[in-house]
Amino acid sequence: MDRTEKAELVKSMNAVFAETSVVVVTRYSGMTVQEISDLRRAMKQAGASFKVTKNRLTRLALEGTKYKPIGDLFKGPTGIAFSSDPVAAAKVVVDYAKKNEKLVVLGGAMDGTVLNPDGVKALASLPSLDELRGKIVGLIQAPATKLAGVLQAPAGQLARVLNAYASKGAA
């Protein structure tokens, strides 16, 4: 890789760091190409990305971003997981690390806040953005459903009373 390619890589990674809301740093020592491909596929399905980069270039790309404090995590074979959804990347990495002991979570950052491995695991336990949206829609729909039930109840009671009087008059 020559200087221009390295400069272009640093520039593109700097743009990625500027746009993402979470970065998770992992050590992937001993993982096969197939295992990394599986991880990337799972990340893509969740709307996140996983990238293996050179540590020195990654530290250069972190300069001038809110993720600069995690630069000291880049030692040895490291990979980064990132996404615009604050929970997606952490959730996929932690789930994959449970199945594959070769993937180790080193730490990360969320909007400039440095996270240790336990912080990343706590972040992964939170519901995703789509799950939260579903809960909000459910909460919004629940009062309307209850209101419709309350409004129908008096009409149903009135119909039963009239039916009872009609049955009594016929008898």
DSSP calls for 37-83 = HHHHHHHHHHTEEEEE--HHHHHHHHTTSTTGGGGGG--SSEEEEEE
Higher pLDDT, 44 or 129: 44
Q: Which two tokens stand for residue 97?
A: 């690390």
> What's the rounded mean pLDDT across residues 63-82?
89
For residue 106, how many C-alpha atoms fall within 13 Å in the half-sphere facing its CB? 18
CA 102/CA 144 separation, integer angstroms: 50
- Average pLDDT over the chain, rounded to whole? 85
H/E element, 27: strand 22-27
pLDDT score for 151: 65
pTM: 0.72
Please give the pLDDT value at position 150: 64
- Give percent of the chain with pLDDT exceeding 70: 91
The whole-number pLDDT of residue 106 equals: 92
- pLDDT bin (cut points 50, 70, 90) of residue 88 is confident
Q: What is the pLDDT of residues 107-129, one digit of tens each?
A: 999 887 888 899 889 888 887 77
Mean of pLDDT values over 40-56: 91
Tokens, residue 52: 């293996």
113 in helix, strand or coil?
strand
Tell me, what's the pLDDT at 166? 78
CA distance 74 to 80: 9
In CATH, which of 1.10.3720.10, 3.40.50.1820, 1.20.1250.20, 3.30.70.1730 is domain 3-126? 3.30.70.1730
Domains of the chain: which residue ranges?
3-126, 127-171
